[in-house]
Amino acid sequence: MIVKVCGMREPDNIRSVDSLPIQWMGFIFYPPSKRYVSSVPSFMPQRAKRVGVFVDASIDFIKERSEIFCLDMIQLHGQETVHTCDLVRSATGCGIIKAFGVNDDVCWDDIHRYDGHADYLLFDTYCATAGGSGKAFDHSLLRGYKGKTPFLLSGGLGLDNMHDIHLLHHPLMVGVDINSKFEIAPAVKSTEKIQEFLDLLQI
């Protein structure tokens, strides 16, 4: 299973988290975020894949960040269209993750249109503002997802809801995205808590 630790920025913390058996590490390039990364940290992950998180950013900005930070994947966390996904892939050569907020009003047909245009989807808790809410959504809603694109589960995942994660048996769920519930401070993660999470996840 893919484990993505998002919202990283501090060099020593990046080094420590990169030593854990995680697969992806996320860097947020959305200026309003308290985890915004404005310049390249002095240490970047050597083992985990680098994922850049953008919210309705210009193609030029995404391309620039992908080159400067040597990104492997681009996560689009705004209102980006299918066409935008294609443009970003063409401009950067990176894999594409398209994020969606999930609530009772989710329109799965709209999400299914991204099949063939994103390598992965990410299902997060819906909130009115861009970015994560730190809260979990009703995972039973994912029964409505009938697309072909594999997805990562996000939204308030932590040690307190491991049971809910284990109960989710969707054939296209390939990973989890963790962030705020493992923080000591904005953009600083507890490696001890992450390792405990990995152990409980049976990685």
Kindly list the distances between the CA atom of residue 17 and the CA atoms of 107, 120, 196, in Å, as whole numbers in the listed order.
36, 23, 13
* Helices and strands of the chain, counted as H and E runs: 6, 10
Using only C-alpha atoms, what is the Rg of the chain? Answer: 16
* Residue-level pLDDT at 93: 98
* Residue-level pLDDT at 135: 85
Going by C-alpha positions, the residue among 106, 157, 165 that lies closest to residue 136 is 157
pLDDT along the chain (203 residues), means of 10: 97 98 98 96 98 98 98 97 98 98 96 98 88 83 97 95 91 97 97 97 75
- DSSP letter at 125 equals E
Residue 186 tokens, joined: 């904005």
Are the CB atoms for 201 and 20 separated by under 8 Å? no
* Residue-level pLDDT at 131: 64
* Residue-level pLDDT at 203: 52
Q: Taking the CB of residue 181, how many other CB atoms lie within 10 A of it?
A: 17
Residue 3 tokens, joined: 């484990």
CA distance 51 to 138: 26
CA distance 139 to 117: 24
Secondary structure (3-state) at 187: coil
Kindly list the distances between the CA atom of residue 102 and the CA atoms of 8, 179, 190, 193, 203, in Å, as whole numbers in the listed order.
24, 17, 27, 26, 26
* Residue-level pLDDT at 86: 98
Going by C-alpha positions, the residue among 105, 115, 109 that lies closest to residue 137 is 105
